[in-house]
Structure 1
Amino acid sequence: MSEGKDNEQHGTHLQPVSGKGHQLTVYDPSVQQFEEDDTIDLREYWRVLVKRRWTVLGVVAIVVTAALLSTLLMIPEYRSTAQVQISPQSARILEYEDFSGEGAGGGRSFQEFLTTQFEILRSRSLSEKVVEEHELADHPELAGEVQQRGLVTQARSLVGTVLGAFRGEASAAEPGQRDPVRAAAKRLRERVEIQPVRNSHLVNVSVTAFDPQLAAEAANALVQEYIESTLQRRYESGSEARQFLEGQLEDMRIALERSDQALMDFARENNVADLEERLEMSRESMRSMNDRLNEVQAELVTVTSWKSLIEQGRIDNLEPVVEDEALAELESQLVEAETEYAQLSETFLDSYPAVEKVQSRIDNLKSEIEQRKQTIVDNILGRHENLQAREQALKDSISDREQGILALNERAVQYNILKREFETNRELYDGLLQRMKEIGVAAGVQENNIAVIDQARVAAFPFSPSLPRNLALALVLGLFGGVGLALLLEFLDGSVRRVEDIERLVDRPVLGMVPLVKLKGRDGKVKKRPKRIEKLDESISHYSAVKPTSGVSESFRSLRTSLSFATPEGMPRTLMFTSAAVGEGKTTAAINLATVIAQNGQRVLLIDADLRKPRIHREFNCLRAPGLTNRIARYENTGQDNSAIHPTHTQNLFIMPAGNSTPNPAEMLSSERLARVIDGCKRAFDHVIIDAPPTLGLADALTLSRQVDGVIFVAMAGQTAKENFRVSMKRLAQVQSPVLGVVLNGVDLDSPEYAYYSSYYYSYEGDDDELGDGEGGQGRIGAS
């Protein structure tokens, strides 16, 4: 799998580490991969349920058995039901609104009204009244002398007691235990059920009891007391309303008289009769004065402009001066006189009488003109002062008139306030008086919106327990519980079980699956693994040699084929088998693979490199030494030393045991002499297969993995923990081990998880394998 494709598929949830010629990517399962398809695979859930079917069936059997025993132990219970009609309003004998608040009017919804009535039926006071009126406190059932039996009932009672003690309810229950009426009422309330009939005003009031007579009597008594208490509340509400209205009516009468007297006094003191006429006259006068003021102010603006010209000495520019006819006549005469004077001056001297006469006339005209202008100026100034005085007088009159209008308005407002108060008080008084009369009339009429439709009858058959119903419910609950437990167990199972588990953790393929083999003796029973192997066919490790046509042999031949395509050069010359921990089948897998390769005509050397717990020599019933450690120690001295290599019963298969024990296995496996030993073996054999130690907690396998062409990791189905598998693969990736893939060992073909593979392998293997007289091996391939 390429890096680009891998990252595209799994996003950022990868931990890639480069390996030899490849890149090994280990996925982190603790990070949720949102990019993956989150659709629900129903077949996966079905697989889990089939796999854990005995868990589901066991839970179902336990629950159904418990329900059966509990039902058989329970005392029969009887239920009696009385049906009543609860209408939103009473029958309207009078056309007056209900004053008791018992109806659904007044803006309240009918559902809220019904809920209120249900709570009244369940109320403590109503139950106590039923117990007292009908003397039910001494009944054995309500006195607590008769208790329901059954496992579920006892468990429910125990849980209720514990929860009550935890909430501190024990002290609250003690007074009820000392008062038999309260205790009996509490037990009665627990037996009452209120059920409305859908789309109607009908309500079923049911009571459940061991005594059918008690159930019917209590149901009828509850309904009867409920009706009587409703009527009693109506009567009490009417009396309270009448008393309240009487007090309110007297207070309102006094308030009405006071407001009426205040209105009359105010009208008399302020002459309210012609108040509107006076107010209108004042407003009309004010409008007339405003008009006159506007005229005066406009004239004053003009005269003020003339005064400004006078102050500037521009009298000749004044409009009155320019338009004055007398002044114009004088100026015309002056022009004529000056013309005549000019003509005479050309002929006569100034002392000539005619000239002097014309000069005197000119002087008189000029004097008259100046006097006329001064008269016009004086008139303008006097007019200006007069206009200013008129303006101020009009303003003062308008201000006085405004004050008068405001005073009249205040009186009108105050009068209207007093008038509205009087009218409001009169309306309230009339309303209270009308309501008072209605209550007086309604007091003698007993209206009720509740009617009994059916009385409760004594039940002929028990209501509970229902054996079919309880068993059906137990079956459903058992199925749910069993399925939930099965899914929980599957979720808590942290082991590698299927190919998909491996593919989620690492980007290396599953090269093969080795089926779980259940070896049986001639008595048909599965035998345990013998502590010491006396014959070759007693070991599961030699299954491929003993039964070459079995499904196990076929699985290793399939592994051999997969390895042939593992690299472009074909099957790697040197292979190393390792696992996460001991007991996962790496040694057995290595022996069986070496066997099928040798059966194919190729020379194979199997080396036991697990120097801490070697096992190859025991599997082939030979001595441990000389072996690998001996050859490494003597390699430089002797060069080639074939004494460490032993032939086996299988043609072309040779083994090299671990050799003598060494205090430092890791140092020996990391030495350069080991590499020369492996190179020498590669020249002498077609393939070299190395059985290495586990990866967790040891550095031996990590060191050795750098000396081989390919590493095969063995995981035991249902045993290898996913976290151990992930950590082991991560350690191999960190040292750039050439991991080719994974072999899933110990696959139980009887499990529904591997139904497809089961049909494939069984087609080759046939019946279960049998051993001879000796004890057979454990049915799991190669627990090393």
Structure 2
Amino acid sequence: MNDYYNSSAMDLPYYWQILKTVFKKNYKKSIFMALLVGGLTFLYSLTLESQYRATTLLHVAPKSTAVFNLRELFLDRRDPAFQSTQIGIMRSRVLLANVVERLELDKSPYFSGTKVSVLSKLKQKVGLGGSKPSAENRKRLIAYTLRNKIDIDSAKDSYLMTISLDLPDPQLAADITNALAAEYIESVESNQRKSTEASEEWLLNRLAVVNADLKQAEFELQEFKEREDIIGSSRQNDGMASQEVDMISSRLLEAKQKRLASAALYQQIVATEKGKGDLQGINAIQNDLIVQSIRKELLELESRRGELTQRYGSEHRRMIEVNSQIAAANENLQRQTERVVLAIKSEYELAKESEAFLTSSLGASTNKVQSLGRKQFDLLGLEQNVRTQRDVYQAFLTRLNESRATGVSVNENVRIVDPAGKPLQPLASKAPLLVVLLSVLSGLLGLFIGLLRELFDNTISNDDDVDKTLGTISLGSVPLIDDIPDEADPDIAYNYFGNHLVSQFSECIRTVRSSLMVSSIDETKRRILVTSTVPGEGKTSMAISLAMAFGQVQKTLLIDCDLRRPSLDGLLDSTPFNRRRVGLSDLCLGTASPSECIHSLPITGLHVIMAGTVNPNPQELFCSTKFSEVLDKLSEVYDVIVIDSPPSGGLSDAMLLSTYVDQIAYVIKANSTPVTKIRAAIQSMLKSGAPITGAVLNQVPLLDSSFSYYYGRGYYAESLQYDAKDAGPELNQGT
């Protein structure tokens, strides 16, 4: 299980180990898949025919009537929309159908179906081939095939376009590309011809309508003149009144502009006289030439007085003379300012009187023109309508004459530049690249599938998963025993440790034993409970193997507390006891003595207490004081007591038994039990105060790289296997 989503830190070694595990588990399958796909691709490539590419070069440019095209001179030479449109026309079903008809491709061996592929023959035999298509449908299928095979491209920054086709028949490929180019040119000319004819017909129809409108307008104009006794045109009858109105309107506009210009100056002067400003700040006064001259003179006098002040006193003759000149200049400036102000006021009053006079004159002239009635206006409207209709009629007539004179114009910008010839050399085969590419992709796909299975696996697969996911330490991992036949007696697994003392499995069991001993190194007596989450995780085999391992160094007793489904009765075929023999339940009930219930296994020196008589309610037995007293008495005799309990998931037997032990070895089957069930069972036991020492990961596949990575037993296990072969059966059996 790779429950790395619960971890906030990035554990790169852990993820690297996942990749190594996935590779070691799946590299053989991936290599096989790569070889299989590569072989099939290679065999398929042998059936493919050599392809010849024929290419026809076309010049396709839009028809332009302008002598100088600014777009072509200063912007992009091509119109992308035009190029895309022409490519779509060349790939149209109509043009391809015409090519099929022109070359009679339905009779060609390549397209007629005379060459039947192996897949087609297989479909016909299976009955999936279907009925033979009709001649028309066959032509449509050929056109569809051509559409998928033909490649049309346009060169960058040019009007050149290429039509390419790859076929096993070189001459046929050249004929098809040339025929498609010819059909395209003919379609362009045909469309132009139809467009010209449709345009001429439309011009004739519109010309008849416009001619009728012109005659109607002329009739209405003549009828109005006769009814109103009007001679001549509206221009001749306009008279002096209209000219007078125009003249007065023009002069009134000038008077308004002049009045508005002087009004602004007048308002400034009025505001200044009311004490809201200085007359010298008005632009008209500042721009007066005389005022500017006086101000210039004042500046010179002030500068001269400043120089004389540094030399003479205020009573000096020269200082008196300069001061009198400055006073005279200020008086002149004041008088000139008053004259300018008076001139601005006079100009404003004159502009107002002129505007009022022209306004009254315009009203009188307008009334005079209106008194002439609506005759001139109605006449003007009728004359304008006649001129408009005559211009429209003349425009349509000119366009029609031009169309008839020029006829159908041929677009010379669409032509074949380089027709396709028969290709001499086939295209380079891509079969080797395809074989390598598909082989690599299929191999990577196999590894990727293995990675997904590893990432989304909701089980425990290595010791690191135990630490990260369950929050408990790992006592060790025990490999899956792969040298036991599937049809063998399951009791053989119980004695595997005793029969194979020099093996990787036995070494791992001793590692678990060492972990339990180190966790309580100061204790001389220990009671160890072995349980799991669900049945089938190998807890009984683990309890037996651990008991045998402890029996090698300490006096050990194995108790079968799984009273619901006893498993230790058939520990050895040679044992003289079975389920009918007395055991734990009989000992607790007092119906049997310890010597009758305790049995010794040959060779191993291990003592075992069976489940005994079937008890319908084991929980009452485990809660009794007699059971506690029996365990206490047995602890006085034995150094280690290993208890095989029922699974903790769904039953409370293991939780009750946990109150009598010092250590709990929780067995987890690798890649089997869901994490949610394991976590719930462990948390339930922890809440009740169970002394869970750690977890033992059981039945770990030997191919799992994490097995050797976390414990470093890869090379050592191999050396153990070689030593076991050299030692012979006597060493393995412990004799």
> Taking structure 1 as the reference length, what is the TM-score of the superposition?
0.64
Equivalences for 1:136-147 in 2 at 5 Å?
A: 136-147=105-116
Contact 1:609 1:628 in 2 (8 A): yes
Which amino acid is the alignment partner of residue 121 of structure 1? M
Larger Rg computed on CA atoms = 1
CA distance in 2: counterparts of 1:81 and 1:509, whole angstroms: 72
Per-residue CA deviations over 1:206-263 (Å, capped at 9, x if unaligned) read: 3344543322222211111111211222233233334434555665677789889979
CA distance in 2, matches of 1:160, 1:95: 63
C-alpha displacement of 1:136: 3.6
The equivalent of 2:244 in structure 1 is: 277
Residue 630 of structure 1 corresponds to which residue in structure 2? 586
SS at match of 1:616: coil
CA distance in 1, matches of 2:16, 2:213: 82
Given the alignment of the two structures, is residue 612 of structure 1 paired with residue 560 of structure 2, yes or no?
A: no
Q: How many percent identity over aligned positions?
A: 25
Partner-residue secondary structure (3-state), 2:563: coil
DSSP 3-state at the match of 1:655: strand
Separation in structure 2 between the aligned mates of residue 255 and residue 52 of structure 1, nearest angstrom: 89
> Conserved in 1, the CA contact under 8 Å of 2:61 and 2:414?
no
Cα deviation, 1:153-207, whole Å, max 9, x if unaligned, reads 989xx99999xxxxxxx9xx97x65566545544444443323445544333233
Q: What is residue 63 of structure 1 aligned with on the other side?
A: 37
- What is the alpha-carbon distance in structure 1 between the residues aligned to residue 373 and residue 254 of structure 2? 20
- 1:84 paired with 2:57, answer yes
Q: Quick one: structure 1 residues 514 and 143, their matched pair in 2 at CA, closer, same or farther if it must change by over 3 Å?
A: closer
Cα 1:653–1:135, aligned 2, differ >3 Å: closer, same or farther?
Answer: closer
- Specify the SS of the correspondent of 2:582: coil
- Corresponding residue for residue 292 of structure 1: none
| Alignment correspondent of 1:383 | none
CA distance in 1, matches of 2:456, 2:81: 49
Q: Deviations over 1:412-462 (max 9, x none)?
A: 999999999899878877876776676566546533323323322334455
State the AA in 1 paired with 2:25: K
Whole-angstrom CA distance in 2 between matches of 1:219 and 1:735: 85
Q: Does 1:667 align with 2:620?
A: yes
Task: In structure 2, give the amino acid aligned to 1:95.
Answer: V
2:163 partner amino acid: V
Distance in structure 1 (CA, Å) of the matches to 2:113 and 2:715: 67
Q: Specify which of 199, 202, 206 is matched with residue 244 of structure 1.
A: 202
CA distance in 1, matches of 2:145, 2:122: 16
Tell me, in whole angstroms, the C-alpha distance in 2 between the residues paired with 1:422 and 1:46: 95
User: CA 1:682 to 1:209, structure 2 compared with 1: closer, same or farther past 3 Å?
Assistant: same
AA aligned to 2:436 is A
Which secondary structure state, in structure 1, belongs to the residue aligned with residue 694 of structure 2?
strand
Deviates more, 1:606-615 or 1:752-761: 752-761
**Which deviates more from structure 2 when the two are superposed, residues 663-672 or residues 486-495?**
486-495
Residue equivalent to 1:589: 542
Give the structure 1 partner of residue 177 of structure 2: 219
Q: Where does residue 25 of structure 2 map in the other structure?
A: 51
- Say whether the 8 Å CA contact 2:526–2:641 is kept in structure 1: yes
Tell me the amino acid that sits aligned with residue 714 of structure 1: V
Counterparts in 2 of 1:279 and 1:219: CA distance versus 1, 3 Å: closer
1:743 paired residue number: 696
User: Are residues 273 and 472 of structure 1, via their aligned partners in 2, closer, same or farther at CA, if it must alter by over 3 Å?
Assistant: farther
1:468 aligned residue (428, 432, 439): 432
Aligned counterparts of 2:531 and 2:173: Cα–Cα separation in 1: 76
2:192 aligned to 234, 237, 247, which one? 234
Shift of 1:693: 1.8
For each residue in 1:730-778, what CA deviation from the matched residue of structure 2 results, as whole angstroms up to 9, or x when unmatched?
A: 543464433222101122334334342575353255153459789x99x
* Paired amino acid for 1:645: I
Cα deviation for residue 632 of structure 1 reads 0.9
Unaligned 5+ runs, structure 2: 226-231, 256-356
Question: What is the CA–CA distance in structure 2 between the aligned matches of 1:571 and 1:271, rounded to whole Å?
Answer: 137
1:70, distance to aligned residue in structure 2 (A): 2.9
What is the Cα deviation at residue 691 of structure 1?
0.8
Which of 692, 702, 706 aligns to 2:655? It is 702
1:151-190 to 2 correspondence within 5 Å? 177-178=135-136, 181-182=139-140, 184-190=142-148
User: Could you tell me how far 1:124 is from its partner in structure 2?
Assistant: 1.6
Hey, what's the Cα distance between the residues in 1 that align with 2:163 and 2:494? 77
Q: How far is the alpha carbon of 1:713 from its aligned partner?
A: 1.0
**For 1:207 and 1:227, how far apart are their aligned partners in 2?**
18
Q: Distance in 2 between matches of 1:585 and 1:485?
A: 29
- 8 Å Cα contact 1:605/1:689 also seen in 2: yes
8 Å contact 2:248–2:362 — kept in the other structure? no
Tell me: CA distance 1:107–1:248, structure 2 relative to 1, closer, same or farther (3 Å).
farther
Matched to 1:113, the amino acid is F
- TM-align CA RMSD: 5.2
Shift, 1:48, TM fit:
1.2
- Cα distance in 2 between the residues matched to 1:440 and 1:87: 27
Partner Cα distance (1:694, 1:235) in 2: 92
Deviation at 1:495, TM superposition (A): 4.0
Match of 2:644 among 664, 688, 691: 691
CA shift for structure 1 position 606: 1.7
1:506 partnered with 2:470: yes
- Give the CA deviation at 1:633: 0.8
| Correspondence for 2:99 | 130
Are residues 1:121 and 2:90 paired?
A: yes
Rounded Cα–Cα distance in structure 2 between residues aligned with 1:38 and 1:758:
18
Decide whether the 8 Å contact of 1:59 with 1:479 is kept in 2.
Answer: yes
Distance 1:542 1:594 in 2: 11
Rounded Cα–Cα distance in structure 1 between residues aligned with 2:252 and 2:423: 97
Q: Name the counterpart of 1:715.
A: 668
Assess if the C-alpha contact under 8 Å between 2:502 and 2:720 holds in 1: no
1:560 paired with 2:513, answer yes
My pick for the range that moved more, 194-203 or 416-425, is 416-425
Distance 1:757 1:491, change over 3 A: closer
TM-score (normalizing by structure 2): 0.68
Aligned to 2:447: 483
- Equivalent pairs, count: 610
Distance change >3 Å, CA 125–CA 550, structure 1 → 2: closer
Structure 1 position 496 matched with structure 2 position 476: no
